[in-house]
Amino acid sequence: MKVLVIEDEWKVSSFIKQALERQSFVVDVAYDGNIGERLALSRDYDVILLDIIIPGINGFELCKILKKEKPALPIMMLTTMSTTADKVMGFNSGADDYLLKPFAFEELIARLKVLAKRGALAANTTGSLLRYENLKLDVVKKVAMRPGKEIKLSAKEFKLLEFFLRNPEKVVSRTELAEKIWGIKFETGTNVVEVYINMLRNKIDRDFEPKLLHTRIGLGYVLSKGS
């Protein structure tokens, strides 16, 4: 999980960074709102941890900016501002969660995982780009992307991948795929679904990690980072 911490108090940000890194998180730190904005919009993060009272752009305004540009990016506010009005303002700014300082580190970790999971399952279906893990699909150009490579797709491969990206971690039967992608009633004698699944898997998974398109024997197929 990659996290951006936007916090101007060095002791607090240092503690969070070191503690998260011990849990195998990848952590970047910004000490003011302007740098935080630049990092958040130029890099991919699973979650943003955002203080409210910071130099430059304050946390409320920065949250609005980031949510406008990246609506599916989860943002958790970390702050000492504890009134109901403060919390309402935070959520109205677009925050997904609001955690008061001081906090228990175990609670922070638990909330981060929930937010990251929510962001992944949403598949970042904003604008022309669908995402899951490090797989992206440009619905305008009709191409898939994994790190370092653009992958061209046929019309049916595109429809198939788009369907999986809009239904991440859902096991989909051959019958449903036949009806949704080909518009036909599934016949037990046809292997068209298996053929296209294998073609798509060879393009998006063969040369990349993690493997994302899996077969669930007797059930169907699923787009998931686990087998």
Contact present, 170 and 212 (Cβ < 8 Å) = no
- Nearest Cα neighbor of 75 from 89, 88, 59 is 59
pLDDT of residue 120: 63
pLDDT of residue 69: 83
The pLDDT of 122-138, averaged and rounded, is 75
pLDDT band of residue 180 (cuts 50, 70, 90) is confident
pLDDT in tens, 45-57: 989 999 999 999 9
Instruction: Report the chain's mean pLDDT, rounded to a whole number.
Output: 88
Measured between alpha carbons, how far is 89 from 75 in angstroms, rounded to an integer? 14
More confident residue, 193 or 182: 193
Q: Tokens standing for 32?
A: 């003011």
pLDDT surpassing 50 at residue 21:
yes
- Structural element, H or E, at residue 116: helix 105-122
pLDDT of residue 125: 53
Cα separations in angstroms, 78 against 50, 58, 100, 117: 6, 13, 6, 19
What DSSP line would sit under 15-56, residue for residue? HHHHHHHHTT-EEEEESSHHHHHHHHHHS--SEEEE-SS-SS
pLDDT in tens, 154-170: 989 999 999 999 888 88
pLDDT surpassing 60 at residue 1:
yes
pLDDT of residue 188: 54
| β-strands 213-216, 135-138 pairing | unpaired
User: What three-state secondary structure class fits 160?
Assistant: helix
The pLDDT of 130-143, averaged and rounded, is 87
User: What three-state secondary structure class fits 82?
Assistant: coil
pLDDT band of residue 176 (cuts 50, 70, 90) is confident
- Structural element, H or E, at residue 204: helix 192-204
More confident residue, 176 or 8: 8
pLDDT in tens, 34-93: 999 999 998 889 899 999 999 999 999 999 999 888 877 889 999 888 888 888 888 888
pLDDT of residue 102: 85
pLDDT surpassing 90 at residue 225:
no
pLDDT of residue 8: 93
pLDDT of residue 170: 85
pLDDT of residue 123: 43
| β-strands 213-216, 149-152 pairing | unpaired
Domains of the chain: 2-122 (3.40.50.2300), 129-223 (1.10.10.10)
